[in-house]
Amino acid sequence: MKSKKIFLILLNFLSFAIIFAGTNEPIEENIEEQITKEFRAVWVATFLNIDWPSKPGLSADQQKEEFITLLDNVKKWNMNAIIVQVKPASDALYPSKLSPWSGYLSGTQGVYPGYDPLEFMVKEAHKRNIEIHAWFNPFRLSAANANWSSLATDNIAFKHPNWVVRYANQLYLNPGLPEVRDYVIESIMEVVKNYEVDGIHLDDYFYPYKVGKLDYPDYAAYTKYGVTFASKSDWRRDNINTFVQKLYKNIKAKNKDIEFGISPFGVWRNQSTDPKGSKTKALQNYDDLYADVLLWMRKGWLNYVAPQLYWHRGHNLADYKTLVDWWSSVAKETDTKLYIGMAAYRVNQWKNPNELVEQVYYNREFPEIKGSIFFSYKSLANDPKGVLTNLISGPFAE
């Protein structure tokens, strides 16, 4: 009887040890796996030469050298993705049948830079196991205060001047015209068809940000296409909804493995406007930019969304934590991955030198948040207040 008791005790102990060993190892692996799979990206802005190339007119070799340094830095920072602006306005950083060469390469729009930058970028990024997402500004035609003379003669604006709208001294394509939306989709599909990019990325510019009380001058298009809608605002939102849905379908029809993501302004709607909105007092995607991001997420038209939460914790109009909580709760109800767009460029404005790093740690409290994207590369590389150093030694240490 005594030996039987001893046997049962040993058996129970052995069972406990097996269970304990079996559960402990996967927990460690899961934490490791979560960190490994975390999306860590920087935006690489080519508009106005913000990040790359450092200035227009560099030789092809100089541009390549700068980009290799950029990639090597991203790798050294334990990051795994770049989002490169390949169509900053009505131009392109790749040979295109629809758009002229970008002036941010050569200094003059329409001038061949001596190589295919996008082909080079994709090859070098993948060589380092870094994802590359091609970033488009779909409806922007020019920088501020630019005029028609700054555009190449084969620019779409000269071929279809009736597509162009001037708003607040800047040129745009009119998203209210079906042919404009089709053109923009076709220009994006050039990249989908010809390059092994990992993602297609749009930012917050659909209709432009409002300037004072100046209304966007699209009355002619509205009278032709929008009179059946309850309001001009509803019509404008429908234009963007139609564009996003069609672009998503076209991308997936060609290559289902390419991710499609959008980085909208950080506030969908304020709760004072809509009970479903966030407790903020800021400009609104839905009402001011005519971008119904919630609809796109719920309809499954996006693989990921990366709201630009460019505020500090405790901001009186748009608190970072309030918005992270809100976007996480929304993402939980959809299949859309959530990344957070983070403001490396604002670090010097914030009192807390470790604000950005602490935001990354806060993001990790939410399983819906799959990673971070920093605006932008150069801001991070400058290591303001030691933020890059603290990222590498802290949340990005492995």
Q: What is the DSSP letter of 289?
A: I
Q: Is the dihedral of CA 312, 313, 314, 318 positive or negative?
A: positive
Q: Which residues pair with 369 in a beta bridge?
A: 338
For the chain, which residues score pLDDT lower than 70? 1-36
What is the C-alpha to C-alpha distance for residues 359 and 305, in angstroms, rounded to an integer?
A: 18
H-state helical runs in the chain: 2-37, 60-76, 103-106, 117-127, 156-159, 178-194, 219-225, 232-254, 293-299, 320-332, 355-363, 377-381, 387-393
Q: In degrees, to the nearest 5, what angle opens at C-alpha 164 toward C-alphas 161 and 170?
A: 130
Q: What pLDDT sits at residue 25? A: 43
Q: Which helix (H) or strand (E) holds 43?
A: strand 39-44
Q: What pLDDT sits at residue 36? A: 58
Q: In degrees, to the nearest 5, what angle opens at C-alpha 121 toward C-alphas 120 and 125?
A: 120
What is the C-alpha to C-alpha distance for residues 211 and 168, in angstroms, rounded to an integer?
A: 7
Task: Give me 204's structure tokens.
Answer: 């917050």
One-letter amino acid for residue 217 of the chain? P
Nearest 5°: phi and psi at 203?
-105, -150
Q: What pLDDT sits at residue 33? A: 54
Sequence-separated (6 or more) residues with CB below 8 Å from residue 280: 267, 270, 271, 317, 318, 319, 322, 323
Q: What pLDDT sits at residue 145? A: 87
Q: What pLDDT sits at residue 14? A: 40
Q: What pLDDT sits at residue 22? A: 45
Closest CA to 117 of 183, 195, 42: 195
Q: What pLDDT sits at residue 324? A: 99
Q: In degrees, to the nearest 5, what angle opens at C-alpha 314 toward C-alphas 392 and 352?
A: 40
Q: What pLDDT sits at residue 35? A: 54
> pTM for this structure?
0.91
Chain-centroid distance of CA 333 in Å reads 21
Q: Which helix (H) or strand (E) holds 342?
A: strand 337-343
Q: What pLDDT sits at residue 8? A: 40
- Contact between 209 and 283 (Cβ < 8 Å): yes
Q: Which CATH topology does 41-393 take? A: TIM Barrel (3.20.20)
What is the C-alpha to C-alpha distance for residues 247 and 278, in angstroms, rounded to an integer?
A: 28
